[in-house]
Each structure stands twice: as C-alpha cells, then as structure tokens.
Amino acid sequence: MSLHAEVQRFYVHQLGLLDDDRPDDWADLFTPDADFREVTGTRLHGREEIRASVRRRHEHVVTTGLDFFRHWLGMLQASATPAGTVHARSYALAMYTPADNALRVYVNVVCEDVLIPHGSTFMVRSRHLRADGR
C-alpha cells in the first residue's frame, strides 16, 4: 500500500471516531506529548489536554443539537521525511445537518500534521488547524 493510501486510511479511521461519538478513542491517536493548534489559535499540549478539549467540543455539539455532525477530508498530500515521520496536509470540512435537513458547514480548515508510524498505523505528533484562506 502506498504512503498516501496508508495516511488516508488513518484519517478515515480517526475522523470516523469523531463522527461515531468516540472522542476519547480519537484522542488516543495523539502521542502523549502531542502539540495541537486549534483553528481559534489555542495551543494544546499533550494528549490529555487534547482529550479534554475534544470532550468539551463534543458536549457542545450534543447540547446545541448539531445533529449528524460529520467530517470530510480531501486534497491530501503526504510525504515521508528522513527522520521517519510523515508530513500530511489536507483540507477538512466539519459539517452538520440539523432537523431541517439543510447541510451546513461548521468550519473549513487547512490541516497540517506530523505523523509518526505506530504499528500498522500512525499517531499524531502535531496538528495545526487554520481557517482556509487565512
């Protein structure tokens, strides 16, 4: 399997965890010392801080009724580095369908990750999200 296909498979799994209401399992795919820069500019350090943030965001989705919250990732670029990490860049949409059935985009971001191999998959060492066009 090509590197691109392996990285895409990882993201399908990771984003699927969010879409299936499994924020803790999603957070487990970050390294213990991971760095995460949210689209708001907030910097999180470490898996547990990332876990706490995604739990809060998940509760927000549930309490505000953002039904059928889904993620879509495209335009993936993945390249291996001499150090053995993988740099990945993609566009991601977070969207939801409220009760009126009109799809709404919650946010459109550019996602830049550093992934490290972990068995037959990857873990995220760092993630930087920024609003597309910024």
pLDDT in tens, 91-133: 999 888 776 778 888 889 999 999 999 999 999 999 999 998 7
End-to-end CA distance of the chain: 34
For 58, 61, 130, the CA distances from 94, given in Å and listed in that order, are: 13, 11, 13
If residue 2 lies in a helix (H) or strand (E), which one and from where to where? none
pTM, entire model: 0.90
Residue 73 neighbours by CB distance under 10 Å: 17
Collapsing DSSP states into helix, strand and coil, what is residue 10?
helix
- Domain annotation for the chain: domains and CATH numbers: 3-131 (3.10.450.50)
